[in-house]
Amino acid sequence: MKDNPFVGIAGNIGVGKTTFTEVLAKKYNWDEYYESVIDNPYLSDFYGDMNRWSFNLQIYFLQHRFAGQLEISNNKKGVIQDRTIYEDVKIFAKNLFELGHMSKRDWQTYQNLFKNMVQFLEPPNVIVYLKASTDTLISRIKNRNRDFEKNIDVEYLHQLNSCYNNWSKNEKELNIITINTDNFNIFKDKSKLDEICKEVEESI
């Protein structure tokens, strides 16, 4: 494993990215960068009316993660990031456009903005994609009981899963490893966690 790596944690809503980020950050003494969820001013409105708020939400996430990744590039320690900027455009915004929640004009503007931003960024050394079935995601979302997620559309989650699976299989420019988490409890399955950590180390 190289010194001071940049590791991204990818995955659908509710899969356990934040928990996984916390565990690996503690294990390796890496600095953590988290997705802006609790203080996001658009998220609750978005789940209530995706057509109206999808572009606003994605622009908010894009600028937040761009700022975070610029900060990461100046960090001299190892870094782990909860969700990457690449997922914003290749998973979430794309899915909203394909479902009809984002207009073609907004989708094109979003892609152009991303292309202009990403040229200034260094990609992670590895992206760990945490994979789970839609049923598993729904169960985990219910267990964490966030108010703004109570009305989340199951079909929306299912479509995101399809996007993630296609991306992880077909992405050529990023180093991605896939971890199936359906039957994995990070707090109880120490041997499995050790296997995952070894795979991450070997991928950096």
Q: How many C-beta atoms surround the C-beta of residue 175 within 10 A? A: 14
* β-pair partners for 32: 80
DSSP classification of residue 89: I
What gap in Å lies between CA 75 and CA 6, rounded to an integer? 10
Q: Decide if 1 is inside a domain.
A: no
What distances in angstroms separate CA 179 from CA 6, 113, 156, one per listed residue?
18, 31, 22
Are 117 and 66 in contact by the 8 Å Cβ rule? The answer is: yes
Task: Specify the length of the chain in residues.
Answer: 204
Identify whether 84 is part of a domain: yes
Which is the catalytic residue, given 82, 106, 147, 189?
Answer: 82
Query: What whole-number distance in Å separates Cα of residue 139 and Cα of residue 163?
Result: 20
Q: What is the pLDDT of residue 177?
A: 96
Q: Is 82 a catalytic residue?
A: yes
Contact by Cβ (8 Å): 196, 170: no
Provide the number of structural domains found in the chain: 1
What is d(CA 149, CA 168) in angstroms, rounded to the nearest whole number?
25
List the beta bridge partners of residue 127. 8, 176
Say which CATH number the domain at 157 has. 3.40.50.300
pTM, rounded to two decimals: 0.90
In angstroms, what is the C-alpha Rg of the chain? Answer: 16
185 in a structural domain: yes
Answer whether residue 147 is part of any domain. yes
Q: Which domain holds residue 89?
A: 6-203
> What CA–CA distance (Å, rounded) separates 80 from 62?
18
Per-residue pLDDT of the chain (204 residues; tens, 9 = 90+): 888 999 999 999 999 999 999 999 999 999 999 877 668 899 889 989 999 999 999 999 999 899 999 999 888 899 999 999 999 999 999 999 999 999 999 999 999 999 999 999 999 999 999 999 999 999 999 888 887 777 788 898 999 999 999 999 999 999 999 999 999 988 789 899 999 999 999 998
Domain annotation covers residue 11: yes
